[in-house]
Amino acid sequence: MNSPLEKSAKREVSFIVNGEERNLFPHPMERLLDVLRNDLGLTGAKEGCGEGECGSCSVLLDGMLVNSCLVPVAQANGASIITIEGISTHDLMSPLQQAFLECGGAQCGICTPGMILAAVHLLEKKPEPALSDIREGLAGNLCRCTGYMQIFEAVARAAQPRMAK
């Protein structure tokens, strides 16, 4: 695929994924997405476009929402990464995941992991988002199935319990 891979020497990279420390020995230019999927078996992050347009490979890198297809794995050294697999705990869905399920926020499901991470990121920054905040916050994540309306509803519903407090 990308020729830098063959030229660069492998090196050690360490980071924390979903709370667990991982030590790897990849090509530094390998895409974080491929390392998560192929080396760590975390297949929740998906490749939709490979150029940072669709957001289906979104993960949280030190709290920032990034397209993992654009991040060389070396750049993640020392970072803390959250993937969709880190959002539900012990088989218990988060309120956001529950809301996606109830509101019809997931159809084919391929954009859903990235979309949910974008929503997590949004709700961390803005716990009580207006509709315009939700639209802006999810603008980097494409969904071809839903027309987004039920995704907005899911994010708003997940935010409600906090807003009620």
Partner 1 sequence: MNVPHIVGASAPRKEGRGKVTGAARYVDDMVLPGMLHGATVRSSVARGKIKKISFGPGVDWKEFVVVTAKDIPGKNCIALILDDQPCLAAETVNHAEEPIVLLAHVDRHKLRKAVEAVSIDYEPLPSVHSMEDSERKSTIIWGNDNILKHYLVEKGDVDAVWKEAAHIVEGEYLTGAQEQLYIENNGVIAAFQPESGVTVWGSLQCPYYVHKALMALCGLPENKVRVVQMETGGAFGGKEEYPSMIAGHAALLAIKSGKPVKIIYDRVEDMVATTKRHPSRTRHRTAVSKEGEILGGEIEFTIDGGAYATLSSVVLSRGTIHAGGPYYWPSVRIRTKAVATNTPPHGAFRGFGAPQSLFAMERHMDRIAQVVGISPIEVRRRNFLKTGQTTTTEQTIQENIDLDGLLDRALELSNYDAKKKRFAEENRNGKLKKGIGIAAFLHGAGFTGSGERYLNSLVGLEAGADGVVRVLVSSAEFGQGTNTVLCQIAAEALGLPYENVAIAQPDTAVVPNSGPTVASRTAMIVGKLVQSAATGIKETLAKSGLLGEDYTPDQFRFACREHIAAHGALKSYSRYESPGNVYWDDEKYRGEAYAAFAWAIYVAEVTVDLTTYSVTVNDFVALQEVGKVLNPVLAEGQITGGVAQGIGFALFEKVVWQDGRMLNNQMTNYIMPTSVDLPPIRVFFEEHGNVHGAHGAKGIGELPMDGPAPAIVNAVEDATGVRFDSIPLLPEDLLEALNDKSGERDLLSPVRGMA
Catalog residues that contact partner 1 under the rule CB under 8 A.
1-3, 5-6, 37, 42-51, 53-54, 56, 83-85, 87-88, 93, 97-98, 100-113, 116, 134-136, 138-152
CA 142 from chain centre, in angstroms, equals: 13
First vs last Cα of the chain: how many Å apart? 50
To the nearest whole angstrom, how small is the minimum distance from the Cβ of residue 84 to partner 1?
Answer: 3
The CA–CA distances, whole Å, from 63 to 59, 80, 94, 122, 163 equal: 9, 8, 18, 11, 22
Q: What is the DSSP letter of 53?
A: S
Q: Decide whether 76 or 103 has the Cβ nearer to partner 1.
A: 103
DSSP per residue, 107-120 = SS-SSHHHHHHHHH
Residue 149 CB, shortest distance to partner 1, in Å, is 4
- Comparing CB distances to partner 1, the nearer of 78 and 147 is 147
Which residues share a beta bridge with 60? 65, 82
Measured from the CB atom, the residue of 56 and 66 that comes closer to partner 1 is 56
> Hey, what amino acid is at 159?
A
Query: Based on CB atoms, which residue is closest to partner 1, 13 or 103?
Result: 103
Nearer to partner 1, 76 or 117 (CB): 117
Beginning with the edge strand found earlier in the chain, give each strand of the sheet holding 80-82 in spatial order. 20-24, 13-17, 80-82, 58-61, 64-67
- Smallest distance, Å, CB 12 to partner 1? 20
Q: What's the closest the beta carbon of residue 141 comes to partner 1, in angstroms?
A: 7
In whole angstroms, the minimum distance from the beta carbon of 153 to partner 1 comes to 10
7 Cβ neighbours under 8 A, 6+ residues apart: none
Radius of gyration of the chain (CA): 16
